Amino acid sequence: MRKGDAIAGQHRLEPDEPIWVEFARSMAPLSGTTAEATAAIVAAPGTPMKVLDVASGSGAFGIEILKRNPAAEVYAQDWKSVLELSAGNARRAGVAGRYRTIPGNALEVDFGAGYDLILLPDFLHHLDPPANVRLLKRIRAALKPGGKVATVEYVPNDDRISPPVAAALSLSMLATTEGGDAYTFREIEEMFRQAGFGESRGQLLGLSQQTLILTSF
C-alpha cells in the first residue's frame, strides 16, 4: 500500500480492460437512484442541451437526463467495450437516437466542444489531484461559456473519517489505485479552481450518501 501497487491492478486504466465492463454492469443498480436524483436537478426539461458524460459506465446518468429532457442529447465517453453496454441500456430506455458515444481514455480522448453540461460521476476518486486538475482543464475547454460540470462523489467531511462510506472509499482507493482518494469538498473545489473554474456548490443526493457538486465555468 505504501508503494501504491498492492492490488492496483483492480483499477487499471488500460484500453478495454475487462474489469470495467463488469464494474459498469454491477454498479448499474446502485447508480440508478443517484442518477435519477441528479437528473431531477440538472436535466432542465424542454431546454436544448448538449451533454458530455465522462467515464459514463452503465450510462445511467446520461440516460436519465435524456428520459427527462426530450431536447437533450448525450455524448457518452468511456472505453469502447463499456460503451457497448451503455448504448444497449440507452436502446432499452428508448433514447438511443439521442445517445452518442466517444470511445477512448478520458485522460486523452478528444471530448469535442460546445457542451452545456458535463457529467463527471464517480471518477475523480480514481486519480491523484494533479491528474484531476489536468482532466478538469480538458473538461473546461469542452464547455460552453456559462456551462456547468455536475460531479458526483462520496465526499468525506474535513475530519476524513466520516461519514463511514466516504472514509471506506478513501481506504479502498489507497489499496487499489496509484494515487486516488475520496476528496473533501474543499479539496474538490480547489482542484476545480486550479483548473480555471468558478464557484462550486454541493448538495447531498437523498439516501445515496453521495454529493452532487455543481461547478460553473
pLDDT, tens digit, 9 for 90 and up, residues 9-41: 455 556 666 666 666 565 656 677 899 999 999
- What confidence tier does 177 reach under pLDDT thresholds 50, 70, 90? confident
Task: Give the mean model confidence (pLDDT) for residues 150-163.
Answer: 95
Domains in the chain: ranges and CATH: 8-216 (3.40.50.150)
Residue 103 has pLDDT above 80, yes or no: yes
- pTM, to two decimals: 0.89
Per cent of the chain over pLDDT 90 is: 79
Please check whether residue 17 is in contact with residue 26, taking contact to mean a CB–CB distance below 8 angstroms: no
Please check whether residue 74 is in contact with residue 49, taking contact to mean a CB–CB distance below 8 angstroms: no
Please check whether residue 46 is in contact with residue 26, taking contact to mean a CB–CB distance below 8 angstroms: no
Cell 473519517 appears where?
161
Residue 109 has, within 13 A of its CA and on its CB side, a CA count of 20
